[in-house]
């Protein structure tokens, strides 16, 4: 019974946060751009989310006649599924976790690799040259950043000596990993942005050149799933950053542990939006160059140094 309660709690909170982000992102972007943002529907425009949902449900859900129908319908589902599955291993609090797996982190990495399929298949099934270009870019970008996203976490794993996310959090009782693993944190953050293809790494959907990339042909709720999927990805990466580098639910005891976790996650979500408001999109080749020529050596160096330091401290 408790298990069902936890699953329901995770699902509801993730979906609520993702939907709420539609509103929050618009309000925050407006904040950074000296505007007001949506403020017409309900108090402070809070009902904007509902309005948008109603709108997107009533939109014509059109499948192009030239599309591969089965794949076209499946693609957005894959995205939502992989992200939601990942939330199973995230410890919201000490005992608030769906699946306390001893390979939690690997599970996350595996799922995020599967997420690429959603985009590749969506673009391919659309049978539209812009969509296909978008998904080719997406696969290249996500494969690249997948590599050092994993590598950037090796330092954390070495220090916690476990793949279990719960253990990793517990390992931070002495101090957050962001301090010894600062480089790892930065690289994971960058890779996270790329993984969720948010601005400035929204090259797969680059409106200016690819119309809307892999989801050009999507409309109605299928588009809505891509749209919400993106926000869930943002939430996921923020939650992971909080878990892996900022001590997860740990915090002073005057507030419940889950609250600390949400607070840290929310902070990183805001960082995502702030970065979107600030930085322009790099060129595709610049993105790949940064990945392979700067970040990969850096992350390898980080592993080497972390390893060296660990061997040194253990040998003492």
Among 36, 70, 143, 301, binds other proteins (CB under 8 A): 36
Q: Which is nearer to other proteins, 25 or 217 (CB)?
A: 25
**Distance in Å, CB of 174 to other proteins, minimum:** 29
At 43, phi and psi to the nearest 5? -65, 130
Query: DSSP string of 253-281?
Result: TTS-HHHHHHHHHHHHHHHHHHHHHH-PP
Closest CA to 269 of 4, 28, 85, 48: 28
> Do residues 168 and 105 make contact, with C-beta atoms less than 8 angstroms apart?
yes
**Distance in Å, CB of 272 to other proteins, minimum:** 11
**Is 274 a binder of other proteins (CB under 8 A)?**
yes
Q: Which is nearer to other proteins, 147 or 274 (CB)?
A: 274
Q: Which is nearer to other proteins, 12 or 36 (CB)?
A: 36
> Do residues 67 and 132 make contact, with C-beta atoms less than 8 angstroms apart?
no
What contacts 109, CB < 8 A, 6 or more positions away? Answer: 146, 149, 150, 153
The tokens describing 195, both together, are 């993984």
Write the interaction track for other proteins spanning residues 169-188; mark x where CB under 8 A is met and - where it is not.
Answer: --------------------
**Is 31 a binder of other proteins (CB under 8 A)?**
yes
> Do residues 205 and 212 make contact, with C-beta atoms less than 8 angstroms apart?
yes
Among 11, 12, 16, 32, binds other proteins (CB under 8 A): 32
**Is 296 a binder of other proteins (CB under 8 A)?**
no
What's the rounded Cα separation, in Å, for the pair 129 and 62?
18
The tokens describing 48, both together, are 């904007």
The tokens describing 286, both together, are 């610049």
Count the residues of the shown chain that bind other proteins, applying the rule CB under 8 A: 12
Q: Which is nearer to other proteins, 36 or 311 (CB)?
A: 36
What's the rounded Cα separation, in Å, for the pair 316 and 79?
47
Q: Which is nearer to other proteins, 36 or 300 (CB)?
A: 36
**Distance in Å, CB of 286 to other proteins, minimum:** 13
Among 277, 288, 296, 309, binds other proteins (CB under 8 A): 277
Provide the phi-psi class of 198: left if phi over 0, else alpha when psi is between -120 and 50, else beta.
beta
**Is 102 a binder of other proteins (CB under 8 A)?**
no
Q: Which is nearer to other proteins, 259 or 292 (CB)?
A: 292
Residue 132: enclosing H or E segment and its boundaries? helix 129-160
Segment interacting with other proteins (CB under 8 A) among 27-35, 48-56, 73-81, 305-313:
27-35
Q: Which is nearer to other proteins, 33 or 95 (CB)?
A: 33
**Is 34 a binder of other proteins (CB under 8 A)?**
yes
**Is 279 a binder of other proteins (CB under 8 A)?**
yes
**Is 275 a binder of other proteins (CB under 8 A)?**
yes
**Is 95 a binder of other proteins (CB under 8 A)?**
no
Segment interacting with other proteins (CB under 8 A) among 11-19, 33-41, 61-69, 230-238:
33-41
Sign of CA dihedral 98, 100, 105, 110: negative
The tokens describing 101, both together, are 């797996």
Q: Which is nearer to other proteins, 32 or 259 (CB)?
A: 32
What are residue 132's DSSP bridge partners? Answer: none
| Chain residues that interact with other proteins, rule: CB under 8 A | 30-36, 274-275, 277-279
């Amino acid at each position: 019974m408790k298990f069902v309660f936890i699953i329901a709690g995770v699902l509801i909170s993730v979906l609520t946060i993702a939907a709420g982000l539609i509103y929050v992102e618009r309000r925050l972007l407006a904040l950074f751009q000296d505007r007001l943002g949506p403020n017409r529907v309900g108090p402070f425009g809070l009902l904007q989310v509902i309005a948008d949902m109603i709108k997107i449900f009533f939109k014509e859900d059109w499948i192009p006649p030239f599309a591969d129908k089965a794949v076209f319908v499946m693609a957005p589902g894959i995205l939502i599924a992989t992200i939601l599955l990942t939330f199973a291993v995230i410890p919201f609090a000490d005992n608030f976790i769906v699946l306390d797996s001893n390979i939690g982190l690997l599970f996350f990495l595996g799922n995020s690799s599967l997420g690429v399929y959603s985009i590749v298949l969506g673009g391919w099934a659309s049978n539209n040259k812009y969509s296909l270009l978008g998904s080719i870019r997406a696969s290249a970008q996500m494969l690249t950043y997948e590599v050092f996203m994993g590598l950037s976490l090796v330092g954390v794993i070495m220090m916690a000596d476990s793949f279990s996310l719960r253990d990793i959090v517990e390992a931070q009782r002495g101090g957050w990993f962001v301090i010894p693993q600062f480089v790892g944190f930065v690289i994971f953050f960058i890779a996270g942005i790329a993984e969720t293809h948010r601005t400035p790494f929204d090259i797969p959907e680059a409106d200016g050149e690819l119309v809307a990339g892999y989801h050009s042909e999507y409309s109605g709720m299928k588009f809505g799933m891509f749209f919400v999927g993106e926000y869930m990805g943002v939430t996921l990466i923020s939650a992971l950053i909080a878990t892996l580098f900022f001590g997860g639910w740990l915090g002073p005891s005057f507030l419940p542990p889950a609250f600390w976790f949400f607070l840290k996650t929310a902070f990183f979500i805001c960082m995502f939006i702030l970065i979107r408001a600030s930085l322009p999109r790099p060129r595709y080749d610049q993105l790949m160059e940064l990945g392979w020529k700067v970040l990969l050596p850096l992350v390898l160096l980080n592993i080497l140094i972390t390893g060296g330091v660990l061997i040194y401290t253990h040998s003492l």
